[in-house]
């Protein structure tokens, strides 16, 4: 009887530890996405006011982490509609956040003209990839 109680208590402790780890990781990931969304929304709003365009709602694409530089890269997509023309410009926004301090390093902005499709922007934002390599190193998908 004592062994069954110990086994049940041990299993419950293991389950609680695993749940705690999952919750901490989920909260940590959400923290970076909240910071990145605010930075991206400020940039979109500033650009919309300066260029006399209307921006659609931001769409989240992906979050990648670079262990070497301790940076998170959170990517978003939006579309600008010109108020006086029938042109739509697709925008890829990438927010870089330091892992240790949770501060925004830079916000990158790439515009795509009429000849580009939404799928082109998603491909450049690496929405479907697990690992991406570039000149900054290897980026691993977090979400």
Tens place of pLDDT per residue across the chain (143 aa): 677 888 888 888 888 887 767 666 655 556 677 788 888 888 888 877 777 777 888 888 888 888 888 888 888 888 887 666 666 788 888 888 887 777 777 787 777 776 777 777 777 776 677 888 887 788 888 86
Q: Which residues contact 69 (CB under 8 A, 6 or more apart)?
A: 136, 137
Structure tokens belonging to residue 36: 């990145």
Structure tokens belonging to residue 84: 């006086």
Q: Are 55 and 79 in contact (CB under 8 A)?
A: yes
pTM: 0.69
Please tell me the predicted confidence (pLDDT) of residue 120: 76
Of 57, 29, 27, 52, the residue nearest 41 (C-alpha):
57
Q: Which residue has the tokens 């989240």?
A: 60
Please tell me the predicted confidence (pLDDT) of residue 27: 56
Provide the residue range defining the domain that includes 104.
2-141
The domain total for the chain is 1
Structure tokens belonging to residue 128: 């479907």
Q: Which residue has the tokens 């650009």?
A: 47
Please tell me the predicted confidence (pLDDT) of residue 1: 65
What is the DSSP-derived secondary structure letter of residue 86? S
Please tell me the predicted confidence (pLDDT) of residue 26: 59
114-142 tens-digit pLDDT: 677 777 777 777 667 788 888 778 888 88
Q: Are 55 and 45 in contact (CB under 8 A)?
A: yes
Q: Are 30 and 48 in contact (CB under 8 A)?
A: no
Burial class (CB in 10 A: 0-12, 13-18, 19+), 119: exposed
What is the chain's mean pLDDT, rounded?
Answer: 78
């Amino acid at each position: 009887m004592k062994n069954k109680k110990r086994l049940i208590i041990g299993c419950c402790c293991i389950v609680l530890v695993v749940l705690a780890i999952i919750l901490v990781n989920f909260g940590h990931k959400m923290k970076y996405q909240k910071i990145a969304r605010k930075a991206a929304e400020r940039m979109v709003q500033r650009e919309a006011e300066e260029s006399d365009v209307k921006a659609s709602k931001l769409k989240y694409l992906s979050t990648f982490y670079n262990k070497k530089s301790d940076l998170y890269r959170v990517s978003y997509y939006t579309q600008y509609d010109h108020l006086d023309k029938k042109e739509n410009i697709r925008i890829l926004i990438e927010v870089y956040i330091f892992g240790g301090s949770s501060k925004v390093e830079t916000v990158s902005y790439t515009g795509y003209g009429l000849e580009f499709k939404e799928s082109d922007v998603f491909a450049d934002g690496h929405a479907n990839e697990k690992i991406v390599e570039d000149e900054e190193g290897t980026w691993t998908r977090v979400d």
